């Protein structure tokens, strides 16, 4: 079986493209079922399809069809490269904010909602293990930066001092809650925590007194458009931060005088400022992830080699037993102790003959030519020919 990954992320596509393939849990589950043995990982920063299949080319083609409108921005990885990428994602090393802890739960949720076969199940469980190991053995997640804390830092940059600033939160989920805590810790006052269904009149009334709007909902369309904001703010300077994918806030708001709109991609510059202090920890995390990915690679490669080794040993044991049966006429004159000695000697001969080939086959399993070695052994010893 082969592991195939097709996806896009904040490294390759801006938010206006990513929002086209932002799938909720139900949609992700439906896509996984459509692809067979698959997992759909869809977050604010990425949408990735992991597929397990015998035919890697066909699996990749079907995955590309799902993400067809983003085709120019898609990356395609297979086997070891795909596993390494997933391990880095789970460890937070490929996130907008390196080291952020939310992605580990998102990877787990995607796995739970998917339809993984044995290979895909193994790689996701191993990725979750790698992510937990990175967080336990490095300080990359200490004083964690997040999209929400970056939003609060941006507000502080704009206003200088957030003491007394009135904030309107749109969205009642986890991201909004984190944003509220970060803003309050800097002295801001959360005047209204709304959702996409909050009375429009109430929301517009509060915009007339707001300094900052932070929006993060799962609404399919814009929660606030430019005419509404222009009418409601009554000339006040307004900072708007859109943390949603798909976006909540009409991009045209940025064209209004006195309105400053930032989306999730705009936070990259703020995030970059947090990297310097995390660089050494990130290097340690990369080493852990690489080692875990190599373990998975060796396991996957062994799937081709182990059956060949088992078949070779089974054949050798069958031949040994057949030859002992032919010599039964002479062996019948031996006492029990002597018969055990003959059994032991012949078994040792088989083991010694097969020891070095077994070691070499296992070594080859981690190399690119491991499958060739396995096929050569099957051909030389006629393994499986009776079944065919």
| Least confident piece of the model among 164-168, 198-202, 223-227, 342-346 | 198-202
Dist CA 254 CA 243 (whole Å): 15
Catalytic residue among 40, 44, 165, 259: 44
- Rounded to an integer, the average pLDDT of 229-240 is 89
Question: What does pLDDT average to over the chain?
Answer: 85
Q: To the nearest 10°, the Cα dihedral for 251, 253, 257, 262?
A: -60
Q: To the nearest 10°, the Cα dihedral for 222, 154, 188, 275?
A: 120
Structure tokens at 334: 């031996």
The per-residue pLDDT for 274 is: 63
Domains of the chain, residue spans: 2-142, 147-272, 299-381
Q: To the nearest 10°, the Cα dihedral for 176, 232, 228, 206?
A: 30
Contact 238, 261 (CB under 8 A): no
CATH class of the domain at 2-142: alpha beta
Q: Is 44 a catalytic residue?
A: yes
Share of the chain above pLDDT 70, in %: 91
| Least confident piece of the model among 22-26, 202-206, 264-268, 281-285 | 264-268
The CATH superfamily assigned to 147-272 is NAD(P)-binding Rossmann-like Domain (3.40.50.720)
Structure tokens at 54: 């015998």
Report field, pTM of the whole predicted structure over 0.85: no
Structure tokens at 118: 């044995």
């Amino acid at each position: 079986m082969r592991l195939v990954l097709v996806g896009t992320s904040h490294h390759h596509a801006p938010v206006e493209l990513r929002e086209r393939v932002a799938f909720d849990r139900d949609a992700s589950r439906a896509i996984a079922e459509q692809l067979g043995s698959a997992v759909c990982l869809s977050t604010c920063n990425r949408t990735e399809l992991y597929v397990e299949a015998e035919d890697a080319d066909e699996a990749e083609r079907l995955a590309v069809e799902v993400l067809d409108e983003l085709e120019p921005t898609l990356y395609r990885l297979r086997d070891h490269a795909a596993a390494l990428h997933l391990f880095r994602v789970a460890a937070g090393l490929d996130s907008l904010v390196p080291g952020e802890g939310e992605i580990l739960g998102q990877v787990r949720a995607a796995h739970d909602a998917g339809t993984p076969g044995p290979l895909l199940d193994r790689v996701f469980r191993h990725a979750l293990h790698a992510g937990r190991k990175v967080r336990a053995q490095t300080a990359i997640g200490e004083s964690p930066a997040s999209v929400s804390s970056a939003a609060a830092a941006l507000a502080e940059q704009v206003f200088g001092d957030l003491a007394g600033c009135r904030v309107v939160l749109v969205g009642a989920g986890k991201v909004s809650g984190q944003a509220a805590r970060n803003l309050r810790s800097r002295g801001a006052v959360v005047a209204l925590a709304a959702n996409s269904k909050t009375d429009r009149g109430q929301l517009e009334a509060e915009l007339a007194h707001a300094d900052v709007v932070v929006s993060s909902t799962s609404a399919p369309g814009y929660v606030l458009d430019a005419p509404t904001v222009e009418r409601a703010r009554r000339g006040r300077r307004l900072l708007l931060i859109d943390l949603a994918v798909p976006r909540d806030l009409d991009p045209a708001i940025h064209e209004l005088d006195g309105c400053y709109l930032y989306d999730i991609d705009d936070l990259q510059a703020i995030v970059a400022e947090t990297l310097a202090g995390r660089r050494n920890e990130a290097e340690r995390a990369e080493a852990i992830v690489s080692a875990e990915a190599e373990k998975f690679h060796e396991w996957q490669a062994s799937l081709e080699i182990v059956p060949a080794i088992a078949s070779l040993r089974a054949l050798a044991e069958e031949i040994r037993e057949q030859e002992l049966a032919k010599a039964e006429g002479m062996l019948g004159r031996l006492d029990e102790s002597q018969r055990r000695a003959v059994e032991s000697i012949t078994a040792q001969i088989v083991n010694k003959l097969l020891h070095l080939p077994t070691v070499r086959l296992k070594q080859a399993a981690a190399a690119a030519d491991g499958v060739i070695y396995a096929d050569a052994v099957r051909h030389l010893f006629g393994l499986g020919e009776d079944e065919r």
